[in-house]
Amino acid sequence: MADEVILLDYWPSAFGMRTRIALEEKDIKFDHREQDLFNKSQILLEMNPVHKKIPVLIHNGKPVCESLIQVEYIDETWPKGNSLLPSDPYQRAQAKFWGDFIDKKVSGPTWVLWGGKGEEQEAGKKEFIEVLKTLETELGDKTYFGGETFGYVDIALIGFYCWFDAYEKFANFSIEAECPKVIAWAKRCLKRESVAKSLPDSDKITKYVPELKKRLGME
Amino acid sequence: MASDEVKVIGAWASPFVMRPRIALNLKSVPYEFLQETFGAKSELLLKSNPVHKKIPVLIHADKPVCESNIIVEYVDETWSASGPSMLPSTPYDRAIARFWAAYIDEKWFPSLKSILKAEGEEEKKAVLAQVEEGNALLEKAFIDCSKGKPFFNGEHIGYLDIAFGCFLAWLRVTELAGGHKLIDEVKTPSLSKWAERFCNDPAVKPVMPETATLAEFAKKIFAKPPA
């Protein structure tokens, strides 16, 4: 019996990109349903009543919420093909630690980079660079965060990369100047089909920001 | 050769620290409990968790594992032969357990904390309503996850029981301070019975502080300086 896999998503979301990449890595066919977050659909409200957020992965009618939980679910449900998490318990704990770090520390300061100004934006820039430098140290000279294999931590972080041009433009700084290793890592990830398919063009994001600000009443 | 020793860096009052301790107890793994002094951070803590500088940290054969729920999964996987699995067997049920654990940390516990910090009746009412809404969700989650068994994880205490149960002592302190029951036989009958089972479990009892002791401690740390 064929699996029915639906993903409720929003094209600029770095979180939605995580789940798309995971599904692509496992070569899973899915119905990608773009959501209007300013006018939430019945299915979104039914499938994620607690948070009412995307992404929502619906597998044979049953919803899984929270992007990193979805990535792990995908890895466990479709164990064939590329493993997204290491099999060693200590390595798994390290991967989850960094996924959690990215969740707590990366998305926080980023809104102020494209949507903020003045001192608040300056503080956000500083915080963002510090966080990226910590990640850079963790990456070291490895190809990917997990070593030679693309996986969970790479997936957790890479979606933010398509927003970098927007951050640089609206906050007036160069991420590559501060964190060249992160940029090099991102470019390596983009060579993978799963990532190239799942990340929108940076241009598209940058062009979208003024509209997003307007819709959020952030002018 | 690194010894197989297990250490937990923590503090008796921290619900997050309780999580790895309960997990280790469930797997009958002996460990050394290294208590941090309130208000100061030890060299070992700063070395073992340089990113967050927070407790708990589990050190196993000299290798640190940080973040309480991650530590619980690590304990479950590392000592898988020493006790029942702490997570359900199907990927879907596992995702549900992880979802609720994340909800508890991101939404439920912050709203519980804000009851103790709330100033004035209006603010108190608002945060109480939030917690009660959360409790109603968790009551339903318990019924769905337990499927008629005694714990969220089924027959045995597991990841989600630990993720939520660790807050029970603080919950009782909050109830005392506010004069308002949060988990009881009327509002949350299933959770009320589960809470009693959880707190009386031999893996939990030794690490769950007495409500009175914790209430004293809470008074000290939340004490407002004289006006």
Looking at chain B, which runs of residues are DSSP E strands? 6-10, 32-35, 57-60, 63-66
Residue B1: pLDDT above 60?
no
Testing the interface with B: which of A96, A138, A152 to mutate, by most B Cβ within 10 A?
A96
Query: Do B16 and B166 meet the contact criterion of CB atoms below 8 Å apart?
Result: yes
Domain ranges of chain A: 5-77, 89-216
Q: What is the mean pLDDT of residues A67-78?
A: 98
- Contact map slice: A 132-191 vs B, CB within 8 A: 134
Residue B227: pLDDT above 60?
no
Structure tokens at A83: 């493993």
* CA B111/CA B108 separation, integer angstroms: 5
B98 at A interface, C-beta within 8 A: yes
B144 at A interface, C-beta within 8 A: no
Task: Check A89 against B74: CB less than 8 A apart.
Answer: yes
Count of positions (residues) in chain B = 227
The contacts found for A169-173 with CB under 8 angstroms, 24 or more apart, are: A169/A206, A170/A113, A170/A114, A170/A115, A170/A209, A171/A112, A171/A113, A171/A114, A171/A116, A171/A121, A171/A124, A171/A125, A173/A125, A173/A129
B136 at A interface, C-beta within 8 A: no
Q: What is the CATH number of domain A5-77?
A: 3.40.30.10
* CA B219/CA B3 separation, integer angstroms: 41
Query: Nearest chain A Cα to B71, which residue?
Result: A93
pLDDT of residue A1: 58
Question: Is ipTM strictly over 0.90?
Answer: yes
Residue A157: pLDDT above 60?
yes
Q: How confident is the model at residue B167 (pLDDT cuts 50, 70, 90)?
A: very high
Chain A residues touching B64 at Cβ < 8 A: none
The contacts found for B93-98 with CB under 8 angstroms, 24 or more apart, are: B93/B145, B94/A72, B94/A73, B94/A76, B95/A64, B95/A69, B95/A70, B95/A72, B95/A73, B96/B141, B96/B144, B96/B145, B97/B145, B97/B152, B97/B153, B97/B158, B97/B159, B97/B160, B98/A66, B98/A69, B98/A72, B98/B159
pTM attached to this predicted model = 0.96
Task: Check B99 against A64: CB less than 8 A apart.
Answer: yes
A53 at B interface, C-beta within 8 A: no
Structure tokens at B134: 């959360």
Structure tokens at B190: 């299933």
Q: What is the CATH number of domain A89-216?
A: 1.20.1050.10
